[in-house]
Amino acid sequence: MDIKLLEKRKPAIEKLSSKFSVETQFKLMADYAPMPMWVTDIYDQSTFFNQAWLEFTGRGIEEEYGKGWMEGIHPDDLNKCLKIYDAATQTHKRYTAEYRLRRYDGQYRWVLENGVPQFTSEHVFDGFCGSCVDVHNIKEIEHRKDQFIVAASHELKTPLTSLNIYLHLLSGIFGSGSQEKFNHYISGAIDQVDKINGLINHLLDLSKIQSGSLELECSVFSFQALVKSIVKKMRVIIPSHEIILNGKISGKVKGDPERISQAFENLLSNAAKYSKEQDKIIVELYEDTKNVKVSVTDFGIGIAKEHLSKIFERFYKIPGKKEETFPGMGIGLYLSQQIAKKHGGKIEAESEKNKETKFTLKIPIHKSSVKHK
């Protein structure tokens, strides 16, 4: 600890010292601290671990003493850590290190370690005192955000590629007198502009939801009529799949038809996207006393159980060799779920890897329309 700081706190420490030795006080404090802490001597051998450390690693203090703690560091991070420790021991300077530490349950968690050199009252180096903060969740979110930026740039570049070629073709055809080709290329270029615009709107919706400024333009309408009209539209957009519509319902909902359409369309285009080798999507309408529901089932690659709870999270893209070859920014389901929730509803997912996938969008029935039934 800093000598000046010690001197400043001397009166308080002396007061405590009448009850406990300084060493006992340190150990008491360290044991009450929520983060893992440790102390090493001048030979870089550990001499102390607090309760939080032992609880985190799930190991006994005897196992951790000396160099025992090294066993808990992820093998891929150990060399990097040892280099940092060596340098710090030689220079007697403060350091930070990020590494994966094995938790009691066997999971490696990213921790951020802060090491502070200790000196005796004669200013002689006396080892290090360090603490670790679990930064695993932060690291995971950071990683997901980096992946999102990569995915978003990929998505935006794809229509730009087509647009670029169309414009190149136009510049070649212009003046050659073929009106038909000219129109075809112009509409090709415009379609790609629309796609880029759609992608940018998704990004804007994302920031609107984040800031809580997504406004709904509500009206009361027939859910069945809306679903039917979207299925009709999507049959044109997704010619690769037959969209089969089953079920009849009468419930009306109060909401923003544009936004609900957006959520439902997203479920349909996902169904087509992840079942490229299949040609069927089943849409089913049903209702109970509280909600109208529409489910979308595809027979594609499926979703493993461990990812089902995460697919509605922002930027989440299912990891895996096959999964990572699909385009997308990892925001469609997040946006759709937020839209459903804004209407008091929900989207639920059922699937297994390589099994059929069923998404169900549920919106509460508008009360006054129930009375008229």
Partner 1 sequence: MAKILVVDDDTDILSVMEILLSMKGFEVQVTSKGENALPKTESFKPDLILLDVLISGHDGRVICKQLKSNRETSHIPVIMFSAHPGAAASIAEYGANDFIAKPFDVNNLMKKVNAQLGINPA
166 counts as binding partner 1 under rule CB under 8 A: yes
Q: What's the CA angle centered on 44, arms 83 and 61, to 5 degrees?
A: 115
Question: Per CB under 8 A, which region of 89-97, 118-126, 205-213, 319-327 contacts partner 1?
Answer: 319-327
Question: Per CB under 8 A, which region of 68-76, 132-140, 272-280, 358-366 contacts partner 1?
Answer: 272-280
Measured CA to CA, the distance from residue 353 to residue 319 in angstroms comes to 12
Q: What's the CA angle centered on 140, arms 139 and 145, to 5 degrees?
A: 95
195 counts as binding partner 1 under rule CB under 8 A: yes
Bridge partners, 125 (sequence order):
119
CB of 149 to partner 1, least distance (A): 9
143 counts as binding partner 1 under rule CB under 8 A: no
158 counts as binding partner 1 under rule CB under 8 A: yes
192 counts as binding partner 1 under rule CB under 8 A: yes
253 counts as binding partner 1 under rule CB under 8 A: no
CB of 147 to partner 1, least distance (A): 11
Please, which residue, 67 or 145, has the CB nearer to partner 1? 145
CB of 128 to partner 1, least distance (A): 38
Number of residues that bind partner 1 (CB under 8 A): 31
Q: Which listed residue (144, 273, 342, 355) binds partner 1 by CB under 8 A? A: 273
168 counts as binding partner 1 under rule CB under 8 A: yes
> Cβ contacts of residue 30 below 8 Å, gap of 6+?
37, 48, 50, 51
Report whether 72 contacts 91 (CB < 8 A).
no
CB of 258 to partner 1, least distance (A): 25
Q: Return the SS3 of 224.
A: helix
Q: H/E element holding 304? A: none
Q: Which listed residue (107, 161, 183, 368) binds partner 1 by CB under 8 A? A: 161
Please, which residue, 226 or 301, has the CB nearer to partner 1? 301
191 counts as binding partner 1 under rule CB under 8 A: yes
Using CB under 8 A as the binding rule, the residues of this chain from 32 to 71 that contact partner 1 are none
Report whether 110 contacts 139 (CB < 8 A).
yes
Please, which residue, 86 or 194, has the CB nearer to partner 1? 194
212 counts as binding partner 1 under rule CB under 8 A: no
Report whether 223 contacts 362 (CB < 8 A).
no
Give, in order, the Cα–Cα distances in Å from 335 to each of 207, 274, 293, 323, 340.
10, 18, 18, 20, 9
CB-count burial class (<10 Å; 0-12, 13-18, 19+) for 302: middle
Please, which residue, 75 or 327, has the CB nearer to partner 1? 327
203 counts as binding partner 1 under rule CB under 8 A: no
> Cβ contacts of residue 328 below 8 Å, gap of 6+?
151, 155, 273, 317
CB of 328 to partner 1, least distance (A): 10
The structure tokens 């969740």 sit at 137
The structure tokens 């299949």 sit at 278
User: Using CB under 8 A as the criterion, which residues of the chain lie in contact with partner 1 when the complex forms?
Assistant: 150, 153-154, 157-166, 168-169, 172, 185, 188, 191-192, 195, 273, 276-277, 301, 321-322, 324-327
